[in-house]
Amino acid sequence: MIEAKGVALRYPDQTLALKNIDLEIQPGELIFITGPSGSGKTSLLKLFLGMEYPTSGYLEVMGQLMNPTQAKAIRKLRRRIGPVFQEFKLFPGRTVFENVLLGHRFLHMPKTDLKENSMNALEKVGLAHKAFSLVENLSWGEHQRVAIARAVARKPLLILADEPTGNLDKENALKILNLLASFKDNKTSVIITTHATHLLDCEKYDKLIAIHHGVLQLERIG
């Protein structure tokens, strides 16, 4: 699913965000990534999504080489990746359903199943009853569920969630983590960054990875 060998990421301002990353993730794994603020968690997910490219080393995601010469193929690859990132905001003034549907706008996916998939995704996240509410009227936790529905409606093989529990209380944070984990199956991998490691149950995950100053360390195998 993901193979990284000696991957580094240096931003244009010379910040070395990730150093010599070696990592292998298999289909069907649930992975948590933790680490202090600024350690490189978001940067790592951005590499997996093709929003940044490694500045050295080798990275493959679902068989696709991640480098700038592959931009077109990487756009296609994104149809199979479901990102839950805070910077991908919901569209204001639109309903929950429209937000899930519009999540596919730039992916050029076949339109036929989109409506059905979007409603199914809302059911899976427990928000079908809010499908026609405006997103402005949602609680923060519901907002996160819409973001998750948007990511899973395309039936991704890889789900990348960046700090999805944000400022939720413990009970709701756990619900969101469990919801994301529920999309793991033998083909689908789920990767989640979180500060909330105290909530994690190692029975459920395959690996817990820690990052410190851009250096990755396998903390624990579940």
Ligand X SMILES: Nc1ncnc2c1ncn2[C@@H]1O[C@H](COP(=O)(O)OP(=O)(O)OP(=O)(O)O)[C@@H](O)[C@H]1O
Task: Pick the closer one to ligand X by CB: 25 or 114.
Answer: 25
Residue 194 binds Mg ion, judged by CB under 5 A: no
Task: Pick the closer one to ligand X by CB: 61 or 135.
Answer: 61
* Of 21, 40, 130, 154, the one binding ligand X by CB under 6 A: 40
CB of 156 to ligand X, least distance (A): 21
Q: Which does 15 bind (CB under 5 to 8 A by kind): Mg ion, ligand X, none?
A: ligand X
Residue 134 gets which letter from DSSP? B
Q: Is 72 helix (H, G, I), strand (E, B) or coil?
A: helix
Strand partners, 71: none
To 5 degrees, how large is the angle CA 18–CA 20–CA 26? 90
* Of 17, 49, 84, 125, the one binding ligand X by CB under 6 A: 17
CA 17 to chain centre: 19
Q: Which stretch binds Mg ion (CB under 5 A): 20-28, 35-43, 97-105, 143-151?
A: 35-43
**13: Cβ contacts below 8 Å, ≥ 6 apart:** none
CB of 187 to ligand X, least distance (A): 27
Ranges of beta strands (E only) in the chain are 2-10, 16-25, 30-34, 56-61, 64-65, 81-84, 158-162, 189-193, 207-212, 215-221
Rounded to the nearest 10°, the torsion over CA 65, 66, 71, 72 is 40
Alpha helices in the chain (DSSP H): 41-49, 71-77, 96-102, 114-124, 140-152, 170-181
Residue 194 binds ligand X, judged by CB under 6 A: no
* Of 34, 39, 42, 144, the one binding Mg ion by CB under 5 A: 42
Residue 88 binds ligand X, judged by CB under 6 A: no
Strand partners, 60: 3, 65
* Of 15, 139, 178, 182, the one binding ligand X by CB under 6 A: 15
Residue 43 binds ligand X, judged by CB under 6 A: yes
Task: Pick the closer one to ligand X by CB: 88 or 91.
Answer: 88
Residue 149 binds ligand X, judged by CB under 6 A: no
Q: Which residue has the tokens 């940044």?
A: 52
Q: Which does 37 bind (CB under 5 to 8 A by kind): ligand X, Mg ion, none?
A: ligand X
Would you tell me which residues interact with ligand X (CB under 6 A)?
11, 13, 15, 17, 35, 37-43
Would you tell me which residues interact with Mg ion (CB under 5 A)?
41-42
